[in-house]
Structures are given as C-alpha cells and as structure tokens.
A and B are shown apart, each in its own frame.
Chain A
C-alpha cells in the first residue's frame, strides 16, 4: 500500500495537464478553426520537428539557442555587477546608504520600459537586448546578496576573528560561504526574471531572431500551432533552468534548510 501512496503523490500533478490536453483536443475538434485554436497533435507535430526551418526565420532549436545565449549574456553581466556590489553594500553600512536611495528609485521601473532608451543608446542589436535582460536580473540578485551578507551570523564572524582571521579571510571564508545560499536564490530568481524579460523583449521591435521573435512572426502568418509550440518551448526551457538551479541548491546548500 505504501507504493500506491508514493505513486499517487508523484502522479497527482499530472492529472490536470492531461485533462487540459484532452479538453483542448476536444475543443479544437468542435471549434474546427486552426487560426483560433490549433489541434494538440498539430502543435506536437511542430514540436516533433524542432530542427526544421520555420518561415525562413530558423528552427525552434536555433531560435531557442539564440534566446539562451542572450539571456546567458545578460544574466552574467547582471551577476558580475550585482554580486560584488551586494557584498559591499551588505558589508558596509555607509556604502549601503550611499547606493540604496538610487536603487530604490530605479527598481520599480519595469525592465521593458528601458527598451526605447536602450534602442536609442545601443541601436537595434544584441547590446540593447542584453542591457534589458541585465536590468531584469540585476535587482533580485543584488537584494538577495545584500540580505545574505547582512544575515551572516555574528557568532561566525567572532569565532573566525578569535581564531585569527584577517579581514580578507573573514570575507572569503566566512561571509561569502555564509551568504552563498541566499546569493544563489537571488541568481535563481534573477534568471527566471531574465528569461521572462527576454521573451518579451524579443516580441517588441528590435530583434530578428529568438523564440519571442519567432512566435510574434508566426502570428503574422496565422501559424497558431507554431505560436503555441514556441510558447511550450519557452516554458520548458524556463522549467529546465529553474530545476538546474534548484538541484545545485539542494546539493550544495542543504545546510541552510537542515541547520536549526
């Protein structure tokens, strides 16, 4: 009986998606208008042929790779600035106060609101997209890093200094490892936001490739099944990266959950 319970728990989350697909398939038969609701198997057929060129704009795979490259670049730019800045702001109250007001001012501006300015500065191309993505990823990484550093237990610092740690050793051997789980959480959230921002940025003017571009382009040709297939790829890639981040978290930072 134990195994059926485990199975129940494992598969209960699959019931609704399967049900939705069945409803979708039935509805598409009844509506019978592929420009309104494509059939599920038509979408599957698109997904099953991911290397095929679509509308002269590249395949699902090539566009996905393009999108991942962009998000990777933007994400890395954001992390490279946000983590050191967060460490400094978490460590020094003076630096925190110096930067905080500006950050609070810039944070509520949605990343996409920067797009016109980015286009004006960097013209159409990779730089402006990467810029927008960086802005999306930047704030969650920064804020979690600051939080992580500020929450490093005071006792750890005192133990380390009585054992003879220099300032540099405190930073490298206590503060950063102690803050690492929260920094990692920041990276994970930042990546998720970067991915969402990317696809939206690709839909807006300024790009000629990527998954966002592909689904918008497909709309112009009435290829609804390509739109839906593209959306699915976007979702799957998002889940895959989140899973990756989470599995590292479980492996490397288990202590944070387990320590009482």
Chain B
C-alpha cells in the first residue's frame, strides 16, 4: 500500500481575485505502515497538503495515487482526524464510532461489535453510552481515532489532532497513538506545529518551506522506539528540524 504524491501544486484564488500559490510541486512516496509527520512554518500550507491527500480539497495540478489508484475525492480508504469538535454531539460515543459502518448499512449488532473492539483499543471501554460533551478533550480525540479506525482505512490523516490539548494529555496521547499505530498497522500522516511531537512520533519528518510550500528536507528519524526525548540523538534531530523551520520563518 503505497501512497504516491506526484508534482502536487495548489493555487488559490483569493476574494480579491489574486492568485495565491499554496503548494508548489511536491513529490513524496509514503510506504505502508509508515508514520509521516509534516511540519513547517505557520500558514505554509501543511493543512492544505493534508486535505488534498484526503480528497477534501482539489489540487491545481499533480496526482495522488493510493496503490496505483488515483484519489479524486474523499475515500473511506483514508480517514481524517481533525483538531477538535469533530464528534457528532447528538450521538453517543458508540454511535459516533459506528457511524462509518452505519453508512455502509451494517446491522446494529454487527457495527456495535466492531465499534466496541475499537473503543477497547483506544481505552474507552466504559464510555459507549456517553455523549461527547461528557468527555474530556483527550477522550474525545480517542473517540475520533476509534471512529476513523472502525472503517478500517489504509491511511489515517491527522490534522493537528492534539493541538487543543494540554501538554500532559498531549504527551500521553502521543504514546497511546504509537501503541495504536503498532497494533492497527496503518499508515499515518500527521500534521503538527510541534517539532517535538513530529520527531517523537514520525519515521520521517517532512519539513516544508514557507509559502508556496515545497519539501525543504525529509528528515529520517532512525532513532528506535520507544523514543526517549532526553537522549542526545533525539535532541540533535529535534534541533536540526527546528533550525530548518527557523530558516523558513525568518524574513516573513
């Protein structure tokens, strides 16, 4: 299951009619079960890049292929997880997780069985009947992860999923996500502002330039898992990525 991104460019037309180039000629091949993190200066087009991969935005030119199949719109092979407030508040936790299965017409018992499996996986076994407003921010994101996993996508796209969480919850969620990733064996593409998060999670960290975003450097993080944030190798990779972004951020 390879995800191939070829010559991807995106030009927006602003309300004033100006053309704004957001992405410029991005090429990237992502392997099966790889954990990719995308970082870059604020407003560089990270989210746009992710949304195009997920079929939520349309590229101006270039292609995205998932195992040779061209992506033209949202597909259940790729599930997106947003920063926050993505749960359906009128549905219970289990009905949120089972939503994608419900769309496929699975009978209630069957979809609940699958949904329960994924609730267990994200550690929310006892919360099936709760509503999202009864959960903390971290728990809500775990529900969102379970909901995405339940449709068994090949790729999970995550747009700053932990950006709204406090630092402690965030670190815990990162560890849990790695555990889930190892169990569920998915490809993950993860957009974040946090270099620390990117280096902690990713197999490779893709550093983008300022707008129009190009790939500045692909930083492999060979450092083995579980990672230790305080070891010298981690620190030096982190420092390198921070410098890449600092170079791009200066002068803007």
Contact = CB atoms under 8 A, between A and B. Distances in A.
B132 A164 contact: no
Contacts of B54: 162
Given A162-B74, A163-B100, A164-B104, A259 B132 contact: yes
Given A153-B85, A156-B86, A178-B90, A163 B133 contact: no
A155 B151 contact: no
Interface stretch (B17-25, B75-83, B209-217, B223-231): B75-83
Nearest to B157: A162
A161 interface: yes
Interface in A144-191: 153, 155-156, 158-166, 169, 173-174, 177-178, 180
Contacts of A162: 54-56, 74-76, 78-80
Contacts of A161: 56, 73-74
A198 to B, nearest CB: 33
Nearest to A170: B103
A161 B82 CA distance: 13
Nearest to A258: B133
A159 B82 contact: yes
Contacts of A163: 76, 79, 99-100, 103, 147-148, 151
A255 interface: yes
B123 interface: no
Contact of B133 (A158, A173, A174, A259): A259
A9 interface: no
A63 B25 CA distance: 76
B127 interface: no
Contacts of A97: none
A173 B103 contact: yes
B89 interface: yes
Given A163-B79, A259-B133, A155 B103 contact: no
B131 interface: yes
Interface in B64-120: 73-76, 78-80, 82, 85-86, 88-90, 99-100, 102-104
Given A155-B86, A162-B74, A260 B80 contact: no
Given A164-B151, A255-B131, A159 B86 contact: yes
A133 B24 CA distance: 59
Nearest to A255: B89
Instruction: Name the interface size band of chain A.
Output: 20 to 34
Nearest to A163: B100
Given A155-B85, A158-B82, A255-B90, A164 B133 contact: no
A260 B78 CA distance: 28
A164 B80 contact: no
Interface in A107-125: none
Nearest to B150: A163
A165 B74 CA distance: 9
Contact of A180 (B74, B90, B102): B90
A164 B73 CA distance: 10
Contacts of B90: 177-178, 180, 253, 255
A174 B78 CA distance: 20
B82 A155 contact: yes
Contacts of A260: 133
A159 B103 CA distance: 12
B154 to A, nearest CB: 13
A164 B89 contact: no
Contacts of B147: 159, 163
A146 B100 CA distance: 27
Contact of A159 (B78, B80, B104, B132): B80
A210 to B, nearest CB: 38
A157 to B, nearest CB: 10
Given A155-B86, A164-B100, 14 more contacts: A156-B88, A158-B56, A160-B103, A162-B56, A162-B78, A163-B99, A163-B103, A177-B88, A256-B89, A258-B89, A258-B131, A259-B132, A259-B133, A260-B133
For the complex of A and B, 4 pairs with smallest distance between CB atoms: A163-B100, A255-B89, A258-B133, A164-B76
Interface of A: 153, 155-156, 158-166, 169, 173-174, 177-178, 180, 253, 255-256, 258-260
23 contacts: A158-B56, A159-B80, A159-B82, A161-B56, A162-B54, A162-B56, A162-B79, A163-B148, A164-B100, A164-B104, A164-B151, A165-B103, A166-B103, A173-B99, A177-B88, A178-B88, A178-B90, A180-B90, A255-B132, A258-B131, A259-B132, A259-B133, A260-B133
Interface of B: 54-56, 73-76, 78-80, 82, 85-86, 88-90, 99-100, 102-104, 131-133, 147-148, 151
